[in-house]
A and B are shown apart, each in its own frame.
Chain A
Amino acid sequence: MDDVTDQKGVARAAPRASATFDEYTLSEIRRAATTGIYDIRGAGAKRALPHFDDLLFLGASISRYPLEGYREKCGTDVILGDRFASKPLELKIPITIAGMSFGSLSGQAKEALGRGANAAGTSTTTGDGGMTVEERGHSKQLVYQYLPSRYGMNPDDLRKADAIEIVVGQGAKPGGGGMLLGQKITERVAGMRSLPVGIDQRSACRHPDWTGPDDLEIKILELREITNWEKPIFVKIGGSRPYYDTALAVKSGADVIVLDGMQGGTAATQNVFIEHVGLPTLGCIRPAVKALQELDMHRKVQLIVSGGIRNGADVAKALALGADAVSVGTAALVALGDNDPRWESDYQALGSTAGAYDAWHEGRDPAGITTQDPKLASRLDPVVAGKRLANYLGVMTLEAQTIARACGKNHVHNLEPEDLCALTVESAAMAQVPLAGTAWVPGTPLG
């Protein structure tokens, strides 16, 4: 570092930016001071968190035989919801598409998600606002979300669904509801939600007719009775108290638990909520699995983990820690074309840049995905985007298989914590696997 002097030649220390008041923090203070309102955005937590990158697979050795790549079979199929449902979901791959609403996403984006999932042999999920004809038509296996707002909720769609997901919370905002701003409320979106066009639409943070696990058990009974005990019932929880919430969901009669960590995306929530409430995905899995194991329900009630799943290694690590499947939302949107550098000038015009654009609630998405503007939405070709998603899901599956074979597993579900080590003390404690090169597993497991 060069010596620094002022205009009078007096020696000065080099200008030093504060680690506490860093560039982003200063800009946020200035933004708050200018606007008088908190920052709302889409996506999940952006802060650095202990994550799957902090884990490594050990691979085979003298005591562990690998399987031959490209020759020996490594299964990826998964059955979801066979605890009570007479028609469980049978998926070819352990990667599902997370719940995202028509309203927050364009019709083209929903169609593309359906096309991609179909090609890959997996399921998609509706979101707040109900089920559209198009997404039912384009999704061979469709999970119908049952949300606190009950926007668009009707028994006909319930019966058309292949599974029902009762949403208690999501990782980006455990304990929070939502708000779809008026600029995204077209006539069709408003009609589906039984509200006037153009007004902000609040999504409730808790269900209107049940509170607590005893009530949830009765609610699940009602949904099963209405659908003739055919549909698997998922319960989606935000990463908050995964040990207890998993146990309570099992007690309530769930077939499948969907557990979403704080890196999981949202269409629109306060930045302070996204960044400061909830648990990182890595810290959620083992407590949930422990609860399942203690109830003798591991692999009987399936666990789907979401929140920051990006590649086949993440998939394999989540499964090794005890999940039955994972779910992708943000990554699926990126595969469709979200935040693509080809729209860089448009992103800059919106005060953002490709890779950082998260004003999904404003409806001005240059990629035509998080918008209801017909002109912008037409930028997304659902056939091409669906193919991209299918490619991406295929690559993730191949990557997970590659790792599983290297660990000597003939099915990705045979991966186990013993196959892993951790690079940091924090990740070792959260994942309950040894720090690399040691036999040390720090931390006290919940429960």
Chain B
Amino acid sequence: MSTLDLQELGLRKVNSTLHNADAGEWTVSNPSGQHAIACGLDKPMTVDIQGHVGFYCAGMNQQADVTVHGHAGVGVGENMMSGVVRVKGNASQAAGATAHGGLLVIEGDASSRCGISMKGVDIVVGGSVGHMSAFMAQVGNLVICGDAGEALGDSIYEARLFVAGSVESLGADCIEKEMTPEHLATLTDLLTRAGIDADPASFRRYGSARQLYHFDIDKADAY
């Protein structure tokens, strides 16, 4: 286990050290809410960040297992491709935005636009999510153990949404769908991998009605 003191080394040195390392176990101390910490990693390494982080922590992550022992700012795990990003606290807006793969776990709450335009990532939120979450979500799974805010899944494509609590409202073209055994198995696996204790049977599933896949002037009121 090697420790990088962000306050002492600065962001560039910390990130370049992680980028150039072969792998291994790393700790980043004194993050102090700085932005872009541990972004662009591409090695099977573990990185423990001991505190709160700013924007885009673990952005575009590949292979690495990054844990934030605190809260995360906007866009944690944005466009991540693989690996695991875990936030022990809460996350701000656009968590996992446009992410293509891997697993993003937010043990607390996530703010608005969680999973916006997600493209294959799996996201598990231990608490609730804010409005417009999964907006234009394309592929992947978003698991919400708490409640969802307004306009969940607005203009959604093929992503699958699982919500245990209440949904304030569904966005355009997002509907409740049947929870099949296959979906239940997927959900159970995601909760297990995320290490979150929740009853899969308590969830409801939402997805695309696929009514807006081709622009149709007769449906203009839906836009």
What is the interface of chain A, defined by CB distance below 8 A to chain B?
36-37, 149-150, 153-155, 158, 179, 181-182, 193-196, 199-200, 202, 204, 208-210, 215, 218-219, 221-222, 225-229
Complex: A287 Cα to B130 Cα, angstroms: 40
Q: A194-B100, A195-B138, A225-B15 are in contact. Are A218 and B117 (CB under 8 A)?
A: no
Does B55 lie at the interface of the complex (its beta carbon under 8 Å from any beta carbon of A)? yes
Q: B138–A218 contact, CB under 8 A?
A: no
- Chain B nearest CB: distance from A297 CB in Å? 23
Q: Residues of A contacting B42 with CB < 8 Å?
A: 155
What are the 6 A-B residue pairs with the smallest beta carbon separation, nearest first? A226-B40, A209-B75, A150-B98, A209-B94, A155-B60, A194-B119
Majority secondary structure, A binding face: loop
- Chain A nearest CB: distance from B137 CB in Å? 10
Show 13 A/B contacts (Cβ-Cβ < 8 Å), sorted by A: A36-B217, A154-B81, A154-B100, A155-B60, A181-B215, A194-B100, A200-B214, A208-B135, A209-B75, A210-B74, A222-B36, A225-B15, A226-B39
Q: A218–B54 contact, CB under 8 A?
A: yes
Q: Residues of A contacting B40 with CB < 8 Å?
A: 155, 225-227
Q: A194-B100, A194-B119, A229-B12 are in contact. Are A222 and B113 (CB under 8 A)?
A: no
Q: B75–A155 contact, CB under 8 A?
A: no
Q: B117–A208 contact, CB under 8 A?
A: yes
Complex: A153 Cα to B117 Cα, angstroms: 12
Does B5 lie at the interface of the complex (its beta carbon under 8 Å from any beta carbon of A)? no
Complex: A209 Cα to B35 Cα, angstroms: 13
Q: Residues of B contacting A182 with CB < 8 Å?
A: 213-214
Q: Nearest residue in B to A38 (C-beta to C-beta)? A: B217
Does B127 lie at the interface of the complex (its beta carbon under 8 Å from any beta carbon of A)? no
- Chain B nearest CB: distance from A387 CB in Å? 38
Q: Nearest residue in B to A194 (C-beta to C-beta)? A: B119
- Chain A nearest CB: distance from B30 CB in Å? 17
- Chain B nearest CB: distance from A47 CB in Å? 25
Q: B116–A209 contact, CB under 8 A?
A: yes
Does B45 lie at the interface of the complex (its beta carbon under 8 Å from any beta carbon of A)? no
- Chain A nearest CB: distance from B142 CB in Å? 14
Q: Nearest residue in A to B20 (C-beta to C-beta)? A: A228
Q: A150-B117, A204-B117, A209-B94 are in contact. Are A155 and B62 (CB under 8 A)?
A: yes
One digit per residue, 1 when the CB lies within 8 angstroms of any chain A CB and 0 when it does not, for chain B 23-50 equals 0000000000001100110100000000
Complex: A36 Cα to B216 Cα, angstroms: 10
Known: A209-B113, A210-B74. 8 other contacts (CB 8 A): A149-B117, A150-B79, A150-B117, A154-B60, A155-B81, A208-B135, A209-B93, A222-B39
Q: B35–A222 contact, CB under 8 A?
A: yes
- Chain A nearest CB: distance from B151 CB in Å? 15
Does B150 lie at the interface of the complex (its beta carbon under 8 Å from any beta carbon of A)? no
Q: Which of B36, B78, B119, B138 makes the CB contact (< 8 A) with A221?
A: B36
Does B108 lie at the interface of the complex (its beta carbon under 8 Å from any beta carbon of A)? no
Does B143 lie at the interface of the complex (its beta carbon under 8 Å from any beta carbon of A)? no
Does B203 lie at the interface of the complex (its beta carbon under 8 Å from any beta carbon of A)? no
- Chain B nearest CB: distance from A196 CB in Å? 7
Q: Nearest residue in A to B40 (C-beta to C-beta)? A: A226
Q: B78–A209 contact, CB under 8 A?
A: yes
Q: Nearest residue in B to A229 (C-beta to C-beta)? A: B12
- Chain B nearest CB: distance from A394 CB in Å? 39
